[in-house]
Structure 1
């Protein structure tokens, strides 16, 4: 049964702790015994079902599992987050800027539904496309750090291409994404060709919203992603769907049903005005050729 008291920061914390326990080769009862807490308490911690997270338990678990120090700080920050159903993750005070909360959610999702008016989504980017964006965003970082970020984003794409239960991807791209040069013509053309190729996969649906479609729904809407986590064996939600809206200093997360519904409505409005999958693929290949000439 879904725990209605669970919140996104708690669920993310639990997901990370469970992952590190597994890496340490410990079963839940073994870890609970070593931590000196009940197995039920550890279960609730790992599933984000605590009314209030015990920081001592989090720190002790991190020590037991050998979690690196910089991640311990991030996990403690998650434990201290508000219990509100809408959550603003601002970098700096509680969670380090180099810790990507969203990436953990994306990896656990079964369905990725997204609208992009400016850029290709990260899970579909080529390495060169990502490299240009990273260098633009972080000009003061060392080249080695740029490359680490590029490789991390490439690694994330395994959720789309893996053989066992790949994530279902539904993306609407505004036509302006296709026309915007990122880096140079070759980088952009190769990226568009990659999108066309990826759209042939059975788990990927990619549609282009043409310029002449106007403003579906009548509202100016920026980039957003809806993550769904599927159902359990009895038909209940594994966890509530989440809407992620990125920002330059952090990200906004919504999980109230009415908020998620509004974003689903916005996505449907874009989808209804978009080209179908075949025409979208054709346009991607056409514009790719123009860039690569």
Structure 2
């Protein structure tokens, strides 16, 4: 349950609303097919409600479900309040400031990232986005997107910085485990001063935020399970309603992978990478050594 609904994000309200509605349905011993048949809804409508995938939720839909499930007055008030937030507030990535810089695929991913309980991230080429400094982000975009004007780059930088709020949110902060290749520590992005500040930032975040864990795969590990490329695994609190997903991104495309067999494979690879990597304390020592080099 969210303790401060007025300050909660729409994404979190949708997640909690979906979880509560699903629990009420199961307690009422109703199958989803029975519910949609009675309300004359499409099956996908109820699924999207229970998984928090709708951009907005109609309070009237919530009331109809509460009536069917026999929810008490307190529960009904809570769930309609969640729905009201989705109608009166926008997620930050849906605002006019950010929306032009975000593709539909990435908007869908941001909704998942905002509501995830845990993220497992492997990066081989650069610092994971949630740990990047503003100067480091700008240096990457100036090289990777030379065709874009400074205003567009500013917006992309702002998007990346806004995403980092998930690590410090009051309501259920994201548990973030990053495994990075040692080469990331030595690739001088933006010059020595930018790189030094970036590594200092990683060390600070890893030391001060209990929800953040950083491990480094050292060169001496040799060949390892992550050599096919970077990936992100997201896991959610209601594992029955929302299964873990994998997010893959490259220069021209991005995709969300939901297949259980594929997700299981990536989870095994991540476990192997953690075994190959140095522990958090040893990784922090390696990061501090790299700071001196820069």
Class of the TM-score when normalised by the shorter of the 2 chains: 0.5 to 0.7
State whether residues 50 and 241 of structure 2, in contact with CA within 8 Å, keep that contact through their aligned partners in structure 1: no
Match of 2:163 among 153, 156, 174: 156
CA positional deviation for 1:137: 2.1
Match of 1:59 in 2: none
Do 2:105 and 2:254's aligned partners in 1 also have CA atoms closer than 8 Å? no
Q: State the SS of the aligned residue for 1:100.
A: helix
Change (3 A) 1:96 1:230: closer
- Equivalent residue, structure 2, for 1:205: 213
CA distance in 1, matches of 2:142, 2:50: 29
SS in 2 for 1:15: coil
CA distance in 2, matches of 1:288, 1:66: 42
Does the 8 A contact of 1:229 with 1:237 survive in 2? Answer: no
- Partner of 2:173, secondary structure, is coil
Unaligned 5+ segments in structure 2 are 1-21, 24-31, 33-42, 66-86, 95-101
TM-fit CA distance, 1:151 = 1.2
Contact 2:122 2:231 in 1 (8 A): yes
Once the two structures are superposed, residues 25-44 of structure 1 have per-residue CA deviations (whole angstroms, 9 ceiling, x without a partner) of xx521xx59xxxx956xxxx
What's the offset of the Cα at 1:10?
6.2
1:229–1:182 Cα change, 3 Å: same
**Structure 2 Cα separation of the partners of residues 266 and 11 of structure 1:** 32
Who is 1:271 aligned against?
A: 274
Where do residues 17-96 of structure 1 align in structure 2 (5 Å cutoff)? 17-18=55-56, 28-29=59-60, 96=103
CA shift, 1:118, in A, is 0.7
1:227 lines up with 2:234 in the alignment: yes
How many residue pairs match? The answer is: 228
* Higher mean displacement: 200-209 or 244-253: 244-253
- Contact map agreement 1:12 1:104 (CA 8 A) in 2: no
- Corresponding position: 1:167 with 2:170: no
CA gap of 1:184–1:260, structure 2 versus 1, over 3 A, is: same
Task: Sort the Cα spacing of 1:96 and 1:227 in 2 relative to 1 into closer, same or farther, 3 A.
Answer: closer
Q: 1:100 aligns with which of 90, 104, 107?
A: 107
Change (3 A) 1:12 1:122: farther
The equivalent residue for 1:262 is 265
**Out of 129, 135, 139, which is 2:136 matched to?**
129
Counterpart among 173, 184, 191 of residue 191 in structure 2: 184
1:204, distance to aligned residue in structure 2 (A):
0.6
TM-score of the superposed pair, with normalisation by structure 2: 0.67
Given that 2:51 and 2:241 are in contact with CA atoms closer than 8 Å, whether structure 1 keeps it comes out as: no
**SS, match of residue 120 in structure 1:** coil
Task: State the Cα distance separating 1:216 from its structure 2 match.
Answer: 2.5
* TM-aligned CA deviation for residue 99 of structure 1: 5.7
Shift of 1:104: 2.1
Which structure's residues are more often helix, by fraction? 2
Q: How far apart are the structure 2 equivalents of 1:204 and 1:264?
A: 18
Tell me if the contact between 1:132 and 1:182 (Cα under 8 Å) persists in the aligned partners: yes
TM-score, normalisation: structure 1: 0.68
Distance change (3 Å), C-alpha of 1:168 and 1:14 = closer
Which of 237, 241, 264 pairs up with 2:240?
Answer: 237
Q: Distance in 2 between matches of 1:209 and 1:251?
A: 25
- Alpha-carbon shift at residue 227 of structure 1 (Å): 0.4
Instruction: Give the gaps of 5 or more residues in structure 1.
Output: 22-26, 41-63, 72-94
Question: How many angstroms does 1:102 deviate by?
Answer: 2.1
